[in-house]
Structure 1
Amino acid sequence: MSTAPTDQELARAREVLDHIATSYSRKVVGQERLRTSLLIALIANGHILLESVPGLAKTTAASTLADTIAADFKRIQCTPDLLPSDITGNQVYDASTGSFRTVLGPVHANFVLLDEINRSSAKTQSAMLEAMQERQTTIGGEVHHLPKPFLVIATQNPIEQEGTYELPEAQLDRFLMKEIVEYPSPAEEFEVLQRIDTGVLDPERHLESTATVQDVLMMQDVASRIHVSPAVRNYIVGLSYVTRNPAPYIGEEKARYIKYGASPRASIAFLQCSRALALINGRTHVLPEDVRTLRHLVLRHRVLLTFEGEADGIRSEDLIDAIFQSVPTP
């Protein structure tokens, strides 16, 4: 059984986190909830899906996080004609040797930004499944392991927009969390204009790295040893169960809007993300409040609505709130 993190380990992890957050805030104005979500995904060793209308700094936030860490970063602009081999890699014939050689695709990096993922075809979207879940790709029958850490930050526009494809449930479930990015406040938007005038938000200006790959792996190790009590684990399992069997808990009227409940990956996501959130808050143990705070991030892309629910304008977040209200907090 792994030992709990020491005070020194916790302090070192918090120091690295503070450096990353401070550096991030120099380039991204506001969006503190988005910053926290990205840090949780990084520490929990998972992937995150960001959704919003264009222009709300999703791409900037992802690239800025990568800039703060001295690691390999690749950006993939998803388009309808993007092929799976454009992401994972391919075998190329080398005339000088008379043989094929493997050229690894851009997914072979520590940080991969899939920009506007739902503008690529379903076939290309599915090419990411093995990489995201198995942390490897297969090219010409040969397995290539991805580097550590490996974080996919995917952005998507609302499905109602022209030229978008709906992500399949199997791929949605591979994302640890889904964050909805909202418009900035007037004060934040004013600060953006101020920084543009002073050159602080120059798109060609890159931040100096304040952390290393080893720092990230250290934080992930510390987070993995944060204590989660049996009561909190039962709370997580109970919540996931209610999403699959909602009627006795939230009533037939609301339950009929739920098409699919959460898979066991949701329980795993709650476990990993709550540990990461506890670390961010400087604790060596998880509280039920951590799980509650993460409810929308972990479940909004796993509690799927029926056609009737979508037609009636029901929000999955409202159903998630009802589920949490029905399960007693330990």
Structure 2
Amino acid sequence: MVVATQNPVEYEGTYPLPEAQLDRFLLKLVLPLPERGEEIEVLRRHAADFNPRDLAAAGLRPVASAADLAAARAEVAQVQVGPEVLGYVVDLVRATRTSPSLSLGVSPRGATALLATARAWAWLSGRGYVTPDDVKALAHPTLRHRVQLRAEAELEGVTAETVLAGVLAAVPVPR
């Protein structure tokens, strides 16, 4: 598992990853800045000699073993995906490839990632099958880093989020 952060203010000395490398990240989660009270709590902890590398002292405990994770992965692999949902995933990613706002749409690797995350979401929701709503729920975090905006679209204020929202609204949902 790789967790990376990006500071959108200062890019000096850092360079964007090539598309082929970005495509290998399963999800891109966007986290907001903490609320004022939460930020005060962060400072309070650091003033009290909090060590962020000491997970046990922070109260973090394992909730699953390696065996638990392997068993969960095996169960997720058993989650059924109907042909209509497979078609929906393909239609969504293909729609990104023809979007006038994008210079790069979602690759087949992105389609397989969306399918994998939707299966996991269905399993976490207690179901043994994937619904179009599972696909929609995971579309943004799974696809937002796999598309590349055209320069003109960026200048107009278009974002990957708005393009994906438009694709999700335009592609017919199977019943």
TM-score normalised by the chain length of structure 1? 0.47
Secondary structure of residue in 2 paired with 1:259:
strand
1:62-94 alpha-carbon deviations (Å, 9 max, x no partner): xxxxxxxxxxxxxxxxxxxxxxxxxxxxxxxxx
Name the larger-Rg structure: 1
CA 1:201 to 1:232, structure 2 compared with 1: closer, same or farther past 3 Å? farther
Equivalent residue for 1:270, pick from 106, 110, 114: 114
Does the alignment pair 1:324 with 2:174?
A: no
Which one scores higher on RCO, CA 8 angstroms, separation ≥ 6?
2
Counterpart in the other structure of 2:135: 291
Letter in 2 for 1:165: Y
Q: Which moved more, 1:261-270 or 1:198-207?
A: 198-207
Does the alignment pair 1:161 with 2:161?
A: no
Shift of 1:231: 1.4
Cα distance in 2, alignment partners of residues 281 and 192 from structure 1: 32
Cα distance in 2, alignment partners of residues 156 and 270 from structure 1: 23
Counterpart in the other structure of 2:52: 203
Percentage of identical aligned residues: 41
Shift of 1:233: 1.1
1:240-291 alpha-carbon deviations (Å, 9 max, x no partner): 1111123xxxxxxxx1x21011111111011100111122222222221111
Letter in 1 for 2:110: A
Shift of 1:292: 1.0
Does the alignment pair 1:231 with 2:84?
A: yes
Shift of 1:203: 2.2
Structure with bigger strand share is: 1
Count, aligned residues: 170
Letter in 1 for 2:35: S
CA contact (8 A) 1:239 1:323 kept: yes
> Unaligned regions of 5+ residues in structure 1, if any?
1-150, 247-254
Letter in 2 for 1:153: V
Letter in 1 for 2:94: Y
CA 1:282 to 1:165, structure 2 compared with 1: closer, same or farther past 3 Å? same
Q: Which runs of 4+ in 1 moved over 3 A?
A: 186-194, 197-202
Equivalent residue for 1:313, pick from 157, 160, 170: 157
Counterpart in the other structure of 1:303: 147
Cα distance in 2, alignment partners of residues 191 and 160 from structure 1: 25
